Amino acid sequence: MTKPVLDHMGETKLALGPLGDRPGAAEGDDWLSGIDETGIAWLALDRQGHSVNTISQSVLRGLADHLDRFEQDMPKAVVIRSAKMTGFAAGADITALGDMSDEGAADLLKQGHDVLDRLAALDCPTICVTHGAALGAGFELALACDWRIAVEGASFGFPEVKLGLHPGLGGSFRLPALIDPTEAMTLMLTGKSAHTAKAKSLGIADVVCPERHVAAAIAAIVAGDVRRDGAGLVSHAFKLGPARAFAARKMRARTAEQAPPEQYPAPYALIDLWEEHGDDPGAMQQAEIASFAHLLTSETSRNLRRVFFLRQGLKDKARGDDGIAHVHVVGAGSMGGEIAAWAALKGKSVTLGDVESDPLAAAMKRAREICGDKHLNRAETRDVLDRLVPDPQGYGIERADLVIEAAPEQLELKRRIFADLGVRMKPDAILASNTSSLPLTELADQVTRPDHFAGLHFFNPVSRLELVEVVAHAGTAKPVMDRLAAFCGAIDRLPVRLRDYPGFLVNRALTPYLMEAMVLMDEGIAKDVIDRAAIDFGMPMGPVALADQVGLDICLHVSESLKANLDKPMPDISAALREKVEAGETGKKAGRGFYDWSEGTPHPEPRAEGPDGLADRLILPMLDACVECLRKDVVGDPDEVDAALVFATGFAPFRGGPMHYARSRGLSEVASKLSELAERHGPRFTPDAGWSGFG
């Protein structure tokens, strides 16, 4: 659901100059336009039929028509802004990029560049006013203006690298010309956004003000009362080739720590462009167009755009009214505390219960930290903390529309909690459990209203991992599943609907991967070698480090539970894992597991070479489990599997998800590789019967 960013800030009206009552929008026209009494022309972007602005071909064509007019009859100044409360513009309309050829894309880009060049060359001050996000092509539109006014809360960024691309509408030369080029490159290479204060200090925004002062800020710029510092000495230094070559080497090394070039070529292409043409904007422009068009047809970009659409797909399934105003969370531990904080941050009224007071205090502290991470200002943070109420007595249970149980993973304890909730909850309220490994069917026997009971399985940390498994047991009512999916949408998480199954989908798929890593260690292969193989495949961290991060006690518990409940052979539980848990070395939370975490996140040796086929031995069982879940109708379709594994585990996004990877490698090829592994290492690798039926 798209929220109006200004409403959040207590301002409910945009300053739209002469467009106050929004006249002049012709049918199908994306721009509202008008001239105010002082001779300033206003253009407000309002893509019809879209809740959020994107920059499409028609938007640029419409802008070109207005530029025709201005070039004939120059206004005193031009103000460009968005007429949508949801923000400025979310970037290019990537649906239009589709399966475009190199040449087709280059032609389209040239037309776009032409329009922005004309805007940049206009012989009057051009002022872009942004509120909310100005991303990608939206940011490039803002950069083509002379001045930028950022309404408090605005942010600017180039997320193109996340789609296997780099800026393509002039960002690669306009931003480094405006601010310190190394800061510009960092923004473009990381895909991170610069929020208001940072945007001001970097020199992206000339003025920062609340919405109600926008008109005054425009008047000050037009009157020549606003000064800007140039990018200064740093910019000049990078006009020299050797300085750029030196900086480019450092950028490549830093980028390689996050994304190897063979998997993610876009950032390296951008560094090459800058190193080669950083002193010549004209050459940079031509090179940017050619490079963008080339990247667009790369496998990586196609797969990353696929992941973007998978996210959209899950969001679309999260629409609707959840009917949930008040949430009560039982258990303020690592999961319950974050779930409660996150729901409050997204506008829900939340009470949080626990039998201990320390977890409640820790949860409030964590909530404040999450507000900081999400760039909330002091007033917004105060509002979030007001909505999150520690409630040791559980007074909120009677009022809650949804109760989320996040108590320790013990059946008997959960049973007692459900019995208490049963007599206190409103009759039509929903009860959801965050259990990772207890069968919902068994839990459903313990609740008062099984039809209003389901699993709501969040991932750790909730504020970073977007996926939520919404799990039905045989008796869950469909409208309850709809409301839970809508609840996930309302709190900006991505729901995937599942049927109850051991490990649901994600843990079912992930557990054989983690367990195989332990078996490999038992066979004498070093943990660095194992983790390196997974990272080289594209996983964000290796399975041994991941097991440490999840908690070895939790891994052991989930492994035992899956081994007991699945009708398929699983790897033996590693002796080393048991020993670690018995010794209290449970991973990151204990400071030590298989790795030593006392000095921060461990990094496996970069040159740790393993035996041939090591990655297959880790990854293919994960794919096989996904196929099993599809065959057993645990999950709706292969796209949902891909989305779930990417958004919950970070499964190599440039491969487009596990099922997409299996398809591109060849389903029969994968199945026969599994058979080969089964011959060598045992029946746990025997391919699932579903491989022949899925395609």
Place of tokens 């199945």: 671
Residue placing its CB nearer to ligand NAD in the complex, 342 or 458: 458
Tokens of 647: 């958004």
Q: CB 439 → ligand NAD: shortest distance, Å?
A: 13
Is the peptide bond between 461 and the residue preceding it cis, with omega within 30 degrees of 0? yes
Q: CB 484 → ligand NAD: shortest distance, Å?
A: 16
Residue placing its CB nearer to ligand NAD in the complex, 45 or 340: 340
Distance CA 29, CA 26 (A): 5
Catalytic residue among 469, 516, 628, 640: 469
Distance CA 75, CA 54 (A): 26
Q: CB 610 → ligand NAD: shortest distance, Å?
A: 28
Reduced to 3 states (helix: H, G, I; strand: E, B; else coil), residue 286 is: helix
**3-class SS string, 643-686:** HHHHHHHCCCHHHCCHHHHHHHHCHHHHHHHHHHHHHHHCHHHC
Q: CB 522 → ligand NAD: shortest distance, Å?
A: 24
Residue placing its CB nearer to ligand NAD in the complex, 95 or 410: 410
Please count the residues of the chain: 695
507 is catalytic: yes
* Contact (Cβ atoms closer than 8 angstroms) between residue 517 and residue 543: yes
Residue placing its CB nearer to ligand NAD in the complex, 158 or 504: 504
Catalytic residue among 349, 507, 559, 574: 507
Give, rounded to a whole angstrom, the gap between the first and last alpha carbons of the chain.
Answer: 32
436 is catalytic: yes
* Contact (Cβ atoms closer than 8 angstroms) between residue 503 and residue 558: yes
Q: CB 384 → ligand NAD: shortest distance, Å?
A: 20
Place of tokens 């872009």: 128
Catalytic residue among 457, 574, 585, 660: 457
Beta bridge partners of residue 513, listed in sequence order = none
Residue placing its CB nearer to ligand NAD in the complex, 278 or 353: 353
Catalytic residue among 155, 334, 436, 463: 436
Residue placing its CB nearer to ligand NAD in the complex, 275 or 391: 391
Reduced to 3 states (helix: H, G, I; strand: E, B; else coil), residue 242 is: helix
Place of tokens 């690798």: 685
Q: Which residue is nearest to ligand NAD (CB)?
A: 333
Place of tokens 């602005």: 53
Q: CB 363 → ligand NAD: shortest distance, Å?
A: 8
* Inter-axis angle of helices 552-565 and 506-522, nearest 10: 110
Q: CB 326 → ligand NAD: shortest distance, Å?
A: 18
Using CB under 6 A as the criterion, which residues of the chain lie in contact with ligand NAD when the complex forms?
Answer: 330-336, 353-356, 359, 406-409, 413, 417, 434-436, 458, 460, 550, 554
**Pairing mode, strands 388-390 and 453-458:** unpaired
Q: Which helix (H) or strand (E) holds 155?
A: strand 155-157
Count CB neighbours of 680 within 10 A: 9
* Contact (Cβ atoms closer than 8 angstroms) between residue 163 and residue 301: yes
Residue placing its CB nearer to ligand NAD in the complex, 169 or 404: 404
Q: What is the DSSP letter of 136?
A: T
Q: CB 419 → ligand NAD: shortest distance, Å?
A: 11
**Pairing mode, strands 147-151 and 133-135:** unpaired
Residue placing its CB nearer to ligand NAD in the complex, 124 or 438: 438
Which amino acid, residue 345? Answer: L
Residues with catalytic annotation? 436, 457, 469, 507
